[in-house]
Structure 1
């Protein structure tokens, strides 16, 4: 771990330098005074005094140009080597400076990173001990191998471990910063997705309402207008006129009911009270009575309840196909086949009417609905739509949807 007491966050020297310098001067003054009043431990007091003054000047230089690692790396090394040399000289001149040389320890950690601070501390401890004890003259090898070597090795290992931890902490800090940044970005994306989801929901609801209005109100109104025109042509024939007016009343009531159900996003009334094959038969029967075109309904396979979305889509496709036959085909007859299998449900609606060219029908030519509405409904439940038709040869519409059975169905 790097000791950073020497600087503040703005890069200026930390107040700790004043604390260290104050302690150093106090210890130096005490040691010099003690050395001067104890001649028995100070053989050469004049040399001791000169070294004390030099140490005071050197401390002033350090505090004046406080080393900031690593920008002032060279000055930091010089500053500490000078402090170390003066410590050795002072302890050699008088034992009184035992009270001062310890100042090299906090200065080491204040100036250097951890790994190098350990070497600085070791150098200060070993050098002052050797000089004070005189061991260097008597057993230099023992001092180097038995004292300095293990201390330096231990310091090196401790420095490596400290830097490893520092690196891990730095990486963890960076990871936390990136995580915080990612969380902020994700929060922004989440808010954006919520806005887009709301907009998409509004668009989906608009499309749903447009399809429902087309499949209910628009078709019922178109059929109602046809009945009114037909009634107008037989005004002189009371029975036929009454028949058409009865159809008008039934269509108006049915259209109103379907409009209400569409607004409430409910299933068509026929599907609420009947299964899909019976609902299609009822729809075809009512349509045949109104249009005068006979229609044959056939169901193959084993009918099973499907999820509501699939049954509604198939029902609306039949409804739209029959409306197109009444409006455009001029057909003499029509047929509907509903086929159940294990994997898919197939629907086929055909007529022998005027037919048309599917490739010539561009988007928007039917007001944006009709065939496009069928495709959208089927696409919403994973289905497909195929159209086979030629002018003068009738039309066949085929729908295919996955057989997703309703919950509880066998």
Structure 2
């Protein structure tokens, strides 16, 4: 972020640029108490070292009192927003410079109070007016103790003009720099506030996404179970009923009756096994006591033992705990992918790779089976996996061709657990 000078704003940082920072109370106190303090100090120094008589002090005291009233009315009592209003700031500066000039003309010690005119000049806007006021203040504060502006400029114009230019440039340049820095800090603060708000909003959206995925997962499970019941249990029960009906018709033929009865018993056992498998599938592997790589390795091992197809599992990257929804989704994708291999691929081997990256987590499942032409089709396998992954803002890629095996790649964002989601 570059440092930019705004020639339309005052040199003194306004209250709006420091309201939300630790500097605002201190600047406010400086605004309110500095002029009165300088006036008191100048008056006390004059009392101690001025050696003026009572008559002089009567007139000077009245001038000091009038100055104090002016400071109260235009500096100490008004709201900071009022003091920054350009016409009010200009009126306050003219009064301060005039009264301070009269006081310094009576005794040079009052240049102590005249210093405040520089601060008052820095409140003026636009910037050219502020520089003009600084130059006028510099002219008066430096020449009133040397015979006045006219005498000083006539006597040694080069010296006094140089002093005025250098002093005005130094004070004005410092004011420009400090005001630019204050505006830059304010811009940075606002940008950080916006980033914090965006982070909170993104965190809320992420939680909402995971919550919706959890709710949608329940529906997916119902749909998957409905399809599985239709494909296995319902068909099995239909077969059992038909075998029992056939056995009833063949009750006069013992051999035929026994054959139908044995078929019905076998179908019942198969249905019981399928029902138990469906119940186990209702809940993912126990990720509370096992890491995701351990759970996936166990799934691959048990699948290999059941099917007789060798399945290798590999983890790359640095394993770490992730959000339960992310881990459960990858576990379900692994189970579904292996189930599809068992049902359709006629594969001789399967390889699974879980890759941990900075922002993503990738699961690759490859087989050397028969393959197929990817595209929309019936069933709950690939569409179900894709829905699961998409609900967590992930992607699912399928590469396959007849005779060339199949590769499935699921990519999910590496969302940390809820306890680590906030800094």
Shift of 1:179: 1.2
Shift of 1:73: 2.2
Equivalent of residue 272 in structure 1, options 297, 301, 306: 306
Flag structure 1 segments of 5+ consecutive residues without an equivalent: 40-44, 277-305, 317-339, 348-371, 383-398
CA distances 1:53-83 after superposition (whole Å, capped 9, x unpaired): 2342133122123354565322222222222
Equivalent of residue 65 in structure 1, options 52, 74, 77: 74
Matched, 1:139 2:156: yes
Describe how 1:201-350 pairs up with structure 2 within 5 A: 201-265=217-281, 272-274=306-308, 308-314=338-344, 344-345=371-372
Query: Does the aligned pair in 2 maintain the 1:84–1:104 contact within 8 Å?
Result: yes
Paired with 1:311 and 1:8, the residues of 2 have a C-alpha distance of 66
Shift of 1:103: 4.3
- Taking structure 2 as the reference length, the TM-score comes to 0.59
Q: Which has the larger radius of gyration?
A: 1
Change (3 A) 1:23 1:248: same
Paired with 2:245 and 2:16, the residues of 1 have a C-alpha distance of 100
Equivalent of residue 216 in structure 2, options 200, 224, 227: 200
Paired with 2:408 and 2:88, the residues of 1 have a C-alpha distance of 83
State how many pairs are aligned.
307
Shift of 1:124: 3.2
Query: Does the aligned pair in 1 maintain the 2:240–2:264 contact within 8 Å?
Result: yes
Match of 1:82?
Answer: 95
Paired with 1:225 and 1:91, the residues of 2 have a C-alpha distance of 117
Match of 2:331?
Answer: none
Q: Which has the higher contact order (CA 8 A, sep 6+)?
A: 2
CA distances 1:359-408 after superposition (whole Å, capped 9, x unpaired): xxxxxxxxxxxxx9x433354478xxxxxxxxxxxxxxxx989832699x
Query: Does the aligned pair in 2 maintain the 1:119–1:156 contact within 8 Å?
Result: no
3-state DSSP class of the match of 1:264?
helix
Equivalent of residue 173 in structure 2, options 157, 163, 174: 157
Change (3 A) 1:402 1:164: farther
CA RMSD of superposed structures (Å): 4.6
3-state DSSP class of the match of 1:375?
coil
Query: Does the aligned pair in 1 maintain the 2:370–2:405 contact within 8 Å?
Result: yes
Change (3 A) 1:106 1:158: closer
Query: Does the aligned pair in 2 maintain the 1:341–1:403 contact within 8 Å?
Result: yes
Change (3 A) 1:241 1:101: same
Describe how 1:101-120 pairs up with structure 2 within 5 A: 101-105=114-118
Equivalent of residue 91 in structure 1, options 104, 107, 115: 104
Match of 1:325?
Answer: none
Change (3 A) 1:19 1:150: closer
Match of 2:362?
Answer: none
Shift of 1:22: 4.1
Flag structure 2 segments of 5+ consecutive residues without an equivalent: 1-10, 282-298, 311-335, 347-366, 387-400, 410-423
Query: Does the aligned pair in 1 maintain the 2:227–2:380 contact within 8 Å?
Result: no
Query: Does the aligned pair in 1 maintain the 2:240–2:267 contact within 8 Å?
Result: yes
Match of 1:20?
Answer: 34
- Taking structure 1 as the reference length, the TM-score comes to 0.60
Change (3 A) 1:377 1:4: closer
Change (3 A) 1:221 1:315: farther
Query: Does the aligned pair in 1 maintain the 2:42–2:109 contact within 8 Å?
Result: no
Matched, 1:50 2:64: no
Change (3 A) 1:252 1:8: closer
Query: Does the aligned pair in 2 maintain the 1:343–1:402 contact within 8 Å?
Result: yes
